[in-house]
Amino acid sequence: MASTVGKVIKCKAAVAWEAGKPLVIEEVEVAPPQAMEVRIKILFTSLCHTDVYFWEAKGQNPVFPRIFGHEAGGIVESVGEGVTELAPGDHVLPVFTGECKECAHCKSAESNMCDLLRINTDRGVMIGDGQSRFSINGKPIFHFVGTSTFSEYTVIHEGCVAKINPAAPLDKVCVLSCGISTGLGATINVAKPPKGSTVAIFGLGAVGLAAAEGARLAGASRIIGVDLNSDRFEAARKFGCTEFVNPKEHTKPVQQVLAEMTNGGVDRSVECTGNINAMIQAFECVHDGWGVAVLVGVPHKDAEFKTHPMNFLNERTLRGTFFGNYKPRTDLPSVVEKYMSGELELDKFITHSVPFSEINTAFDLMLKGESLRCIIRMDE
């Protein structure tokens, strides 16, 4: 890679030219990294529902043409001025949020919401100079959440890159750079279920299943999956779910169903749908006195959370989380080590794999609800 340092790299990228239209594999020019930036050769990337959501652009500001992608694994090709913790050849995971290590949030043991580098879905340029590092025939192509991993090379702020064990297989651990870590951390770091406790998981997509996996690792005795699609129940057993509730199959509110199943309510609940009704149900289903509900899903911008204040006065706790409360640079390497030691299982999250040329297949699989995670092999 030494021959490309300081030079513009021409490579392939999957460009979204407009909302909801298939991505187009184009030759793009990727500029060298500037101060506090690194240029990374992406080897494997996966598709997260967040990519699909912003590609559809139904509820947010459309920013096009754009290179999506934010779950990935790669190798540092070169670094910009001021970068001290990364070097060419390092194996890394890009992350959609960051850790500058200097702000009040980064210095707090209780927060991972970096003032400088927290997610900004509207920004399509680099934070340093307000310019894009991608172009086609001189025309800029916009970035996505600071990562843009649907490109053979990408440029990312140093604070959004986690250096990991080079022995870790990038085609597996790449899924830790977003959804799996979010669900896992929501349970382990935020809900913190005691051993032997009862946990309800609302939504059994990839993030919800990762939350169930976290409950399994924590030693929960009952893990109740709640989903409107009963077809998901059998697969969820592999992630530790022991029982299931489909709200459509009950005449009572699901929080009441869960309370009756668990002698007054579950000890912990984790909501992974973004549906405001599920959020309210997840809170109201926890036991009074000690129950904790954790919200992970992102609701509609006009949604309102409504519950009776007595639910709080009766000592139920409601919490939210962002990226599972993991600090990307500090904490992700240890999550990778959980996989390397065999404690954390990742293979069961990966249901499909396609070459880069067939990236639109990954979108089709997710839109049909047929995949959890589809790995995209960049070198094919």
Provide the annotated active-site residues.
Answer: 48-50, 70-71, 100, 103, 106, 114, 118, 178, 373
Which letter does DSSP use for residue 151 in this model? B
Q: Taking a C-beta distance cutoff of 8 angstroms, is the pair 52, 172 a contact?
A: no
* Spatial separation of the C-alpha atoms in residues 320 and 324, rounded to whole Å: 9
Joined together, the tokens standing for residue 357 give: 């040329």
Pairing state of beta strands 222-226 and 243-245? parallel
Q: CB atoms < 10 A from the CB of 60, how many? A: 13
- Comparing CA positions, the residue from 66, 63, 40 lying closest to residue 155 is 40
* Spatial separation of the C-alpha atoms in residues 268 and 216, rounded to whole Å: 13
Joined together, the tokens standing for residue 371 give: 């995949």
**Cβ neighbours of residue 23 under 8 Å, at least 6 residues apart?**
14, 15, 16, 55, 68, 150, 359, 360, 363
Could you give the angle at the alpha carbon of 299 between the alpha carbons of 192 and 294, nearest 5°?
A: 10
- Comparing CA positions, the residue from 264, 263, 262, 299 lying closest to residue 280 is 299
